[in-house]
Amino acid sequence: MRLLLAVTLIALAGCSVRERPSAIVQRAEAAGSGRLDSASSLAMQSWLERHRDVAAELDRMCAPVREKAQAEWQDTTEGRVCAASRNVVMTTFKRLEGDHKTYGAGWK
């Protein structure tokens, strides 16, 4: 019985894998997003839509990480923040100079 209990506790401890600290996640939380480790991707994107300057900054931080990321990175907090910031930046438009009827993609 004790052996079964010990094995169960070890298995449960292994299930709670902690992610490595991320400058990207720390920057978003410092900007006022709150804890992101338990936030959904939709919640992250909704918050970033109201803070588009932070989304643009995070997207720039994510670019080099995104290029070298493995498949499971998308499921990490950092990966979800980067995906949400990318979605916000891609749907942000600015007026093009010279023509007040044309819009281009991008934040700045």
Other C-beta atoms within 10 Å of 66: how many?
16
79 belongs to a structural domain: yes
Contacts of 84 (CB under 8 A, 6+ apart): 41, 44, 45, 48, 55
Contacts of 97 (CB under 8 A, 6+ apart): none
Domain that holds residue 68: 22-92
Other C-beta atoms within 10 Å of 78: how many?
26
Number of domains in the chain: 1
3 belongs to a structural domain: no
pLDDT digits (tens, 9 = 90+) for 13-35: 555 557 788 999 999 999 999 99
Instruction: Name the band, by pLDDT with cuts 50, 70 and 90, for residue 91.
Output: confident
Question: How is residue 64 written in tokens?
Answer: 């080099």
pTM for this predicted structure: 0.72
Alpha helices in 1-108 (DSSP H): 2-15, 23-28, 41-49, 52-68, 77-90
17 belongs to a structural domain: no
108 belongs to a structural domain: no
